[in-house]
Amino acid sequence: MTTAESFCHTSQEVCGDGLPDIFDLQETAVLTLAFILGWFLFRLIFQLLPALSRAAKLKGTDGMGRCETRPLTGAEPEVTSTKACEETKGDVLPRLLAPRQGNAAVLDQTSARQIHSSYEECKVLIESSSDPLPGQESHLALARDRARHQDILGSANCIEAVRRAGGRVDQRTLRFFVTACAKGGMMDKAIACFQSALLEGLAPDFQSYSALVRGLCAAGQLDQATYFFYMMLEKGHRPDGLLADALLECCVSQSHLPLVEKVIAVMEDFELRPSNSTLAAHIRLCFARGELHQALQMFKEMPKQFGFTPNAYVHGVLISMCYSFGQCDSALQVHQSMLSCGCRPDSRTYECLIRCCFAVGHLSQAVALVDEALALRGGAVPARRTFIDARAVEDLLATLCRRGEALRLGLPLVKRLQAPAGGWVEHERSFA
């Protein structure tokens, strides 16, 4: 008996019903079914596995964006490999690629398309943990690029797109955006972006604060500038001289003297190096308090202590202060110091000096100042002339006549004013 014959024989014996073929068919069908079922189950598990591991990772943050270490909020924790790409393509991308106004829209779309050009790249982006929201990095980079080109609206749109997709602005982008806004004088946008960043838990760096405060000072928004300046100090940032001076100048120009005192105190606390602006602010503070003597002392000591030469602005502020206090001699002394520093008075300073002189009867000195300002005695090139207010000269001539100096000082001055060299007089013949 062969093996085949014996097998056939035994099977017939065991089954005994004489239907071996049908039994085989049923068995094959069940096996195939089981295999197919198994295959589907297996695939399902394979697909779910990355999803589970991802969900576990996201549980690490509290899922509400309150976690400091993870930059993204994990707004869609179920976002996973293949399914995620479908979702992302159907959800986030159209939002990111939504048409926007202006130049930025074109750039925006092309850059976003380049990054999401293929399904595979999308998958890679989603699975890399550093950028759970695809396109966030590229959009922030684009926002910075737009800000660098002063396209504030374009930049704001990019940042807005990132926020709508659940992301948030980073340090660098905030700094670029605020700087652009400060340059363009669009401080409302800067404040809005800055506030949102604070709400999102970002701690802006010193440069962002500095750009914001200086922009606000330049725009004359002193209240807001002070608010953010103190917020910056609270966060432990050290101010620099440039920032403190910007705030000082804004306070002084709006005559907010209590604040000038506070800012000066902050500068002293941080031992910031004073500049010309600081000195001028100090002098104006003394002026407001009526302390001419302190102002003169500070003017002498501060440049010596910190090794700098005061500029024309500082001298001018001090001269007009002396004039207001009727201290002609001090004003003239400051004028001398000004000339020795190589600074040239501006028209307002010359007017103060001239009025100062004839108020106390230094008539020939007043005439000399007119000569100096208008370069009437030759020597100086015409470009070095300072055009003073005609009324100051008229008042001087009137005073000369009243004091009986018309012949000695008045007439020669009028002749010099009329001389061809004094082209200035062409349209000021009223003096004659």
Ligand X SMILES: *[C@@H]1O[C@H](CO)[C@@H](O)[C@H](O)[C@H]1NC(C)=O
Sites of contact with ligand X (CB under 6 A): 275-276, 308-309, 311
Among 300, 350, 352, residue whose Cα is nearest residue 322 = 352
Min CB(108)–ligand X separation in Å: 43
Q: Which is nearer to ligand X, 138 or 276 (CB)?
A: 276
Q: Which is nearer to ligand X, 43 or 300 (CB)?
A: 300
Min CB(431)–ligand X separation in Å: 34
C-alpha span between 144 and 75 (Å, rounded): 24
Min CB(99)–ligand X separation in Å: 50
Min CB(294)–ligand X separation in Å: 20
How distant is the alpha carbon of residue 77 from its chain centre?
A: 34
Q: Are 220 and 192 in contact (CB under 8 A)?
A: no
Residue 410: DSSP 8-state: I
Q: Which is nearer to ligand X, 191 or 343 (CB)?
A: 343
Min CB(327)–ligand X separation in Å: 24
C-alpha span between 269 and 80 (Å, rounded): 54
Q: Which is nearer to ligand X, 113 or 384 (CB)?
A: 384
Q: Which is nearer to ligand X, 280 or 328 (CB)?
A: 280
Among 210, 204, 270, residue whose Cα is nearest residue 243 = 210
Q: Which residue is nearest to ligand X (CB)?
A: 311
Q: Which is nearer to ligand X, 341 or 414 (CB)?
A: 341
State the helix-helix crossing angle for 206-218 and 187-199, rounded to 10 degrees. Answer: 150
Residue type, 67: C
Helix residue spans in 71-186 (DSSP H):
81-90, 92-96, 102-115, 119-127, 136-148, 152-164, 171-184
* CB-based contacts of 390, cutoff 8 Å, min separation 6: 428, 430, 431
Q: Which is nearer to ligand X, 73 or 276 (CB)?
A: 276
Residue type, 316: G
Helix residue spans in 170-291 (DSSP H):
171-184, 187-199, 206-218, 222-234, 241-253, 257-269, 276-289
State the helix-helix crossing angle for 171-184 and 206-218, rounded to 10 degrees. Answer: 10
Min CB(304)–ligand X separation in Å: 12
Q: Which is nearer to ligand X, 343 or 369 (CB)?
A: 343
Min CB(317)–ligand X separation in Å: 13
Min CB(372)–ligand X separation in Å: 20
